[in-house]
Structure 1
């Protein structure tokens, strides 16, 4: 009889925990959809001019034109990219303001192609591109941090933003499955929500 009560109590506990996790998952989906819609409304008219796009699944704002972003092998932002960031970043922060409770991190991610001028060794190319992508994302983060009209957000930027260089680890492939070098060279702003953290807390309680 005691074991039966223990079994019933355990099943009740598991059901409650599953319901909690489901609630977090639903809240995450709602918050993600709302944030995507807010970003889309804010930037819809600008994306074509910027050669950018917003990924609904990953909440990435993706700047896709390497000719606009940096010079070949350089970490220095081109003037046009600076102008884009001057317009984009304050508005981006304004949108994120309404979703801060759901945000764990915002990553500025740098991606390269697998190519590296002067070598055909894939390992040398990978690590050279790693240093390049890391340098570029640091340069982007430093630039947007110093934009004058985001001064009131600087503390939040320091606590939430990270500059991450992935080298050629995540190439963009064409329809045949081959790397598209031009599209692979990109910079993204990616929101990471706290849904996973909330679920982990429920499991550990």
Structure 2
């Protein structure tokens, strides 16, 4: 091979070497950038995964807390139903033979309704009539003996004495005025009833428990008794009721208030 050809070949190969070195560096840089992007991507994936796991954990805790609250509500409702049923059965056993004689009824909601207006009060008056006083003297001590027994006393929130009237006052009195006057009358009648039963000597040992729970509530004509044809039954609307309210409502309210916090 001639010298001129060797020199020519060396000159032609020199630029190729000069271009190969920068290209190698470029590939190395790209590889490093790719690895950096991959690392950042994996870090971001791990962070998002942690957020999802935290969110799932919070959701799980919320669902568990909600389930616990639901179980509490179910438990209270079940206890309330059992207590109400047992109390109804005891009241029925105690008073079933007396209710017809007193012209009274016992409802499944634990209401005892005295519904003979001529026995209760004189027309337009709030003084307890002697016959109703004798009934109360027989009824109330036995009633409280059941309610204040160890089985029920802690579960009773209120014993309501409710007074109800018809919607009329007299033929000349318009509806609104009749309602207001009947409200005043019903309130006075329930106060008279409360005073009479609370001062019975036989319940003196339960006075502290009773004064914390026994209330008088005059409701005028707001809860009328109706005939089957939809008209007002004026005689049945004039009544006195003893109603029991348990503390189930208060316990449920506490659970709901705690859940809202």
Task: Tell me, yes or no, whether TM beats 0.5.
Answer: yes
| Equivalent of 1:100 in 153, 156, 161 | 153
| Equivalent of 2:83 in 22, 27, 31 | 31
> What residue is the counterpart of 1:123 in the other structure?
176
> What residue is the counterpart of 2:216 in the other structure?
163
- CA contact 1:119–1:125 (8 Å) conserved in 2: no
Question: Separation in 2 of the partners of 1:174 and 1:78?
Answer: 27
**By how many angstroms is 1:87 displaced?**
0.3
> What residue is the counterpart of 1:81 in the other structure?
132
Task: List runs of 5+ in structure 2 lacking aligned partners.
Answer: 1-52
**By how many angstroms is 1:157 displaced?**
1.6
Q: 1:1-205 to 2 correspondence within 5 Å? A: 1-57=53-109, 59-98=110-149, 99-117=152-170, 119-205=172-258
Question: Separation in 2 of the partners of 1:118 and 1:70?
Answer: 20
**By how many angstroms is 1:7 displaced?**
1.0
Note the aligned Cα RMSD (angstroms).
0.9
Question: Separation in 2 of the partners of 1:61 and 1:34?
Answer: 15
**By how many angstroms is 1:118 displaced?**
5.1
- CA contact 1:109–1:189 (8 Å) conserved in 2: yes
Question: Separation in 2 of the partners of 1:86 and 1:33?
Answer: 26
Question: Separation in 1 of the partners of 2:175 and 2:257?
Answer: 43
**Paired residue secondary structure (1:178):** coil
**By how many angstroms is 1:201 displaced?**
1.4
* Equivalences, count: 204
TM-score (norm 2): 0.76
TM-score (norm 1): 0.97
**Paired residue secondary structure (1:73):** coil
Taking CA–CA contacts closer than 8 Å with sequence separation of 6 or more, which of the two structures ends up with the larger relative contact order? Answer: 1
Question: Separation in 1 of the partners of 2:247 and 2:117?
Answer: 31
**Paired residue secondary structure (2:212):** helix
Question: Separation in 2 of the partners of 1:13 and 1:102?
Answer: 26
More helix by share: 2
**Paired residue secondary structure (1:4):** helix
